[in-house]
Amino acid sequence: MDEPVCETTQTLLKPSQKRLVKLKGASTMPTLSLSPITFKHAV
């Protein structure tokens, strides 16, 4: 588990977006499509 990666992702994403990421999923978010690996760690 990469905690620093999660923190970086959360910092870049707004609180409202973080909720959408958890609801819809990282792969569904177009903004997260830039780094699918980072999204998996974030989720």
pLDDT tens across 1-43, in order? 455 555 666 566 666 666 655 655 555 555 545 555 555 555 5
For residue 17, give its domain range: 3-42
In this structure, is the dihedral angle defined by the CA atoms of residues 17, 26, 43 and 22, taken in order, positive or negative?
Answer: positive
Give 29's DSSP letter: -
pLDDT for 1: 45
Write down the pTM of the prediction.
Answer: 0.17
pLDDT for 12: 62
Using CA atoms, how far apart are residues 31 and 41, in angstroms rounded to an integer?
15
Residues 6+ apart with CB under 8 A from 26: 32, 36, 39, 40, 42, 43
pLDDT for 22: 62
pLDDT for 3: 55
Q: How many domains does the chain have?
A: 1
